[in-house]
Structure 1
């Protein structure tokens, strides 16, 4: 008997397929094969290199005789201390983190986001997730046999969830809530008053609060996002993810952190100790150098993306497509210029203008009517994007 897809795959995998991403990638490759020049603004992969001294630190560490042995599973103590110190310096009012209990090194924040549900959820437990949201949030919950209750993020409410709209039964079954400000795909902002409200809601309902702060350093116009750990009472109930992928352009190096409530950090640490051997040692060394060295790169990197944002958003406005300017992240969450099927618009944009974006529905039902545009090309290429869109006539319907 031949193996079939049904006989091989776990039922859970049906929730993980991302057909939109696959379809967009297939169309891009088919057009490239025809000789087309496609400007891909779909995937948010940083195109800038890390600081030169961080690159050199990685090179030096790789050449050490013991570089290729197993690494410390929960992160080198020196790196955990470096991150605790960096966090305290970066976010005013955050009490000193215990590097051994409240800091965990991860293979990128996605590693932690995908595994945390398995460390927290039992079958039947509910995770409160934003909609739209980064797809790995849902994937981790499905793999942990948990259930999802979606919190709509609507423009009319500043893309903040309405906690009062969460049914009592859902609150009773909820184990954790996940927030991301500024987030992906929606680069919305949240203030201290909102975080206080979230902390109060989670305490009243005995829900763990998880905050994804991957974009804390990729901010514009003097905007400085809050760490949830800056808010009174957060340490009792909250944890926060941070990624060096965006802060220091170390995406391929795969290194990130979870910080906060030691019981939640400990739960993920226990799970991780059973499934991997930690981040490659030279990468940990390079990350330590990044955190303890010259921090001027962060401002320079943010200025580069700010210039890209302005080139794209101002250019689109000049040709008749007005979209909100994000105050942070490498993404523009662009409302479509007229009523149209989101997928149809994205496919037309690639075919007729040679520009790749992601339809908003790839991130949830509330993403319909939007596309996510990644600022991962130089200013000159983004100006070319504007020119192509104008000449394609797609804005005319």
Structure 2
């Protein structure tokens, strides 16, 4: 008899409590709300169809169990501290449908309700009829019971969809460690975003040029459910693999240097363009590196240099030396003095040349030569890239 009244009353009480929360449950796993909720509740003249009577009195929550109506939520109650805890235990969309079982003790009494009106007086036909409510308490009801109520919880934040901006003109260095998350910017997400290559191009020494890479990106909701298309994305990106040497961490990246006097890597931010490190030589300097290139393909080599003294009498040259190292087959593809080179920032000059790989040049040695005629000079960086 008391079960239906307690269940209906508790459902109303808890849903009103949810509506009046000061803040919403967050959208990530681990988010929780802990608030005071009374363990003693009062019914006042609550109609009960089962007994055709009104019930009044109190019921006390002894224990509280949530039966897993929403698999992503857990709701618990501590009667001793009178604290209700709502916690998101999994990432994913919430239904907010809760099924809660209470063990309670109750102390109610029944009342009947009637309306009594005085008899009509024929001698006073225009007099108003006097009617009044009569409540009659006639039975006390006490005991313990277990009730179950379906409750709706809707005070939670909606998780943002995973949205990213794939980067364009992506450039990566050969033989370098790369992370799939480097190739897009996150616009919105449900928590931390991770990514992996579905197909990873060949970025080793023979992989100069443009490649298409496919990336799978996901956020914390996507980690929980790999089929959730709002939180799992597949991206196709174009990556340009280059061979760039900036001498950072004393890494020559396979270049071999010789000097007429001496050279060294120095940290000098005022005399560098890309990183803080440059190569300084106090005389002429030569650099060699072996490459495996594609016959008929076009490449571009760029170096940035800064002579101590600009001159029309010095020489900067680029040459291709075939695999058999035959002097007769060595091909000079560029030559200029430092004075006539294009200027860039911080007093640097650009040495740049496109070239097409010819017969017998697929496996070659690339040669950079700088004859700093007066004093010495700085080398900021080398870069070899495939154009077509």
Report the TM-score when normalising by structure 2.
Answer: 0.19
More strand by share: 2
More helix by share: 1
Report the TM-score when normalising by structure 1.
Answer: 0.19
